[in-house]
Structure 1
């Protein structure tokens, strides 16, 4: 099967071919015909399966085939709205729209927070056919009356499960109320939780359903490795692994912003070019770090979970869990940055005694044991006592400071306005730690 056989225009197939893609992935081969038929779609696909092209390509085709004519006195209206949970992912999706549509007479725009709103207002005065936006900044424009959504033909909710996890449900409902009733709705999610099913029931009209990967499955070509280590030896072990194995383009996850900063500084001082990326960083700093990481000039990017679904880098070879996530599903999202679209990748986790329960929760979710390897010189103390990971978060371990809460969730715009939503039960704690469900408050002010 080729992209041409899916019914896409010659111009779109040409752009896809120039990016080096010739054979559609499973999600693309199923989603593209379904979307071209004009009906609603509920699609489940793990990260790295090519789902962005799965909805971008048919949207480009539909809007070109059914080109809208604007009112005689003004410009054509916005026809497609793609809602994305994080700024980085929104920027990358809009980049894909431009690249796949470069031979078409369609214009796109990305609308995110963390940057000056005035250039966006100016951009809206010219033609925009496809708008890629995060919910908070979109509603900022609605409030300032700079945005008209009354002619939207196609709505995409991408990473819908992440949207709900970040507390965007109120914002989504506000946006839906501004859209015309008759439109095509496309909902993409890595998992089909009860909340996602409820959202789909209220949004979609007799949708086609596609699920190309088992729920919470990891890519087949990702190899997993756990390195047991004492909490105060994690940083030197990570530096050792990077140098000894000559790793380049290493994405490292920490639980906290403070921990990300400290780890990046440590690695840099030890001759490993590193930068941290998280919600407290300015948008320009985040964009610059991602650009350097993508082009290979930055060896290590240390991130909180803001990057778990927002980084799309071809052939990213290594993802390291410096600290295991409190929620097992987040392990899947983190390591999904490697092993994308059929490529191989390596997922490494540094696990101390505090995290043994978290490792067990992840293995239970994956229905497999993660292979372990002890590095000579970094053998863990088997008599070490676990310390609680309070609130499901910890700072850099082994420093003797209190382990206070520091958010690792994205400080994406619109979050402050979305301080509601159920707490998500985590993987449990150790020692005197309370169960995760009681440790994380329901209010989300992250």
Structure 2
């Protein structure tokens, strides 16, 4: 007789609350001595306190639809209403209001309007929104006020704990951009340091001396300096995991876990993520307390909560503003075709366009840049194999308009702040459909319109189904050849004659720069 083993169902981790995390800190000798965190810094403006259901719905629909709800259904949280002006969030802080006016902002973006009240009220927040929608300021301005509140607990002659704020970023480029925002506001003279691999370790170590309030870092370099005792994370009370999905994709999960283990358990956490894979959900569940999701998008909540990725949501947000075109082009013909497109753009738009051309490898980026040079086409390259100085120069030249074409690997698909990219061209189709969304999202940002062209071939077939779903959900035309080849691939898989791999195409009737170049 064979005994059948019955697997016990996996119990979900118990819900972490602010109270349980405070108790955990008091029981841990490493953190017991620390002062309580001043969490709730927000008073709901009188005009926001008694919003009717219709008024609240209208507030959520300004500039897009905000879906706001507890990360875990068993979590009881008070979700503050979104603000409709900077004054409602920071009106009592003249220093921040002066900086906002100096930068010429008109009104909060949808993600800022909701993340600010959540973070200022001392609650963990997960923000999902289109690239270029203001997520950096969404977590940065509350961080300034958070530092203020913690320091008020200390007398003038007392040594204050530092650092107080930690921002983890997947790439050095994104880390540098965040530091640029910190320095732009220069709030209360708070000092920041940017720690990343590839930069001068000695300079970074020297910058950590003498006390700093804000650390912006990539996980690898921060772990290195923390292990060597250069920087202590025990004093951190406000943690930001920026582009958490990207950090997990890059293999930083172990480093993130190690870093968060060194930080007090009752910290305030802000997390931003463009997609919603299982790894990010687990990370959120383990390291946040009664977190609130703030999602700027148009999908029904039941779809978002169904454990699907938020890829469809991102498509709704960013791909809707990007007209997408596809051509089936064998690899040996792609360089001639891309030269035709570049020549057309130069003729049609002169200096009034900027384009990122995505390729699959560092070697291809260098190869294509070299071929462009031979053809007299001015471009710059960007990939992880280039020195930090070269990478910074390439981005600087693109931002200034000195060059209009950047040939890049997926290093440039997220977190590169060049808001006026007008065209994206996938010279090589990405290995997975999520990366396609991020590449396309480099254009059509912050309400602008953009265009994306993708070269495809049969070897990209494992992505056909996902691409069709994205195009349909973002209101784009689906090319007939794409549908035919997707059906052909599906049948071959059912027959056992094929299996997952990567490619695709489109021919739209809409007039566009890409289409007119035929």
Query: TM class by shorter-chain length?
Result: 0.7 to 0.9
Q: Which residue of 2 aligns with 1:241?
A: 341
Structure 1 segment 287-326 matched on structure 2, within 5 A: 287-326=392-431
Moved more, 176-185 or 347-356: 347-356
Q: Which residue of 2 aligns with 1:189?
A: 273
Give the alignment's TM-score, normalised by structure 1: 0.80
The change in CA–CA distance for 1:366 and 1:58 in structure 2 (over 3 A counts) is: farther
Kindly indicate whether the alpha-carbon contact (under 8 Å) linking 2:463 and 2:501 is maintained by their aligned counterparts in 1. Answer: no
Shift of 1:105: 2.1
Kindly indicate whether the alpha-carbon contact (under 8 Å) linking 1:277 and 1:301 is maintained by their aligned counterparts in 2. Answer: yes
Deviation per residue, 1:77-96 (Å, 9 max, x gap): 10000000111111111111
Kindly indicate whether the alpha-carbon contact (under 8 Å) linking 1:293 and 1:301 is maintained by their aligned counterparts in 2. Answer: yes
The change in CA–CA distance for 1:173 and 1:357 in structure 2 (over 3 A counts) is: closer
Q: What's the RMSD between the two structures over aligned residues?
A: 2.7
Kindly indicate whether the alpha-carbon contact (under 8 Å) linking 1:226 and 1:372 is maintained by their aligned counterparts in 2. Answer: no
Structure 1 runs (4+) greater than 6 angstroms displaced: none
Q: Which residue of 1 aligns with 2:179?
A: 94
The change in CA–CA distance for 1:274 and 1:207 in structure 2 (over 3 A counts) is: same
Kindly indicate whether the alpha-carbon contact (under 8 Å) linking 2:323 and 2:476 is maintained by their aligned counterparts in 1. Answer: no
Deviation per residue, 1:355-398 (Å, 9 max, x gap): 3553443222443585589xxxxxx9xxxxxxxxxxxxxxxxxx
Q: Which residue of 2 aligns with 1:5?
A: 88
Mapped partners of 2:106, 2:165: distance in 1: 26
Kindly indicate whether the alpha-carbon contact (under 8 Å) linking 2:90 and 2:96 is maintained by their aligned counterparts in 1. Answer: no
Mapped partners of 2:364, 2:464: distance in 1: 20
The change in CA–CA distance for 1:307 and 1:224 in structure 2 (over 3 A counts) is: same
Deviation per residue, 1:104-147 (Å, 9 max, x gap): 32111111101220000111113311110000000110122110
Mapped partners of 1:192, 1:225: distance in 2: 26
Shift of 1:7: 2.8
Kindly indicate whether the alpha-carbon contact (under 8 Å) linking 1:226 and 1:371 is maintained by their aligned counterparts in 2. Answer: no
Residue 52 of structure 1 aligns to a residue in which SS? helix
The change in CA–CA distance for 1:167 and 1:432 in structure 2 (over 3 A counts) is: farther
Give the alignment's TM-score, normalised by structure 2: 0.69
More helix by share: 2
Which sections of structure 1, spanning at least 5 residues, go unmatched?
374-379, 381-427, 438-446
Q: Which residue of 2 aligns with 1:328?
A: 433
Structure 1 segment 374-413 matched on structure 2, within 5 A: none
Deviation per residue, 1:294-347 (Å, 9 max, x gap): 111122111111111131112221111111111101111111111222122222
Structure 1 segment 131-150 matched on structure 2, within 5 A: 131-150=215-234
Kindly indicate whether the alpha-carbon contact (under 8 Å) linking 1:78 and 1:149 is maintained by their aligned counterparts in 2. Answer: yes
Kindly indicate whether the alpha-carbon contact (under 8 Å) linking 1:44 and 1:192 is maintained by their aligned counterparts in 2. Answer: no
Greater relative CO (CA pairs within 8 A, separation 6+): 1
Q: Which residue of 2 aligns with 1:260?
A: 365
Which sections of structure 2, spanning at least 5 residues, go unmatched?
1-83, 300-309, 482-492, 503-518
Mapped partners of 1:180, 1:137: distance in 2: 20
Asked which structure has the greater CA Rg, the reply is 2
Q: Which residue of 2 aligns with 1:417?
A: none
Q: Number of paired residues? A: 384
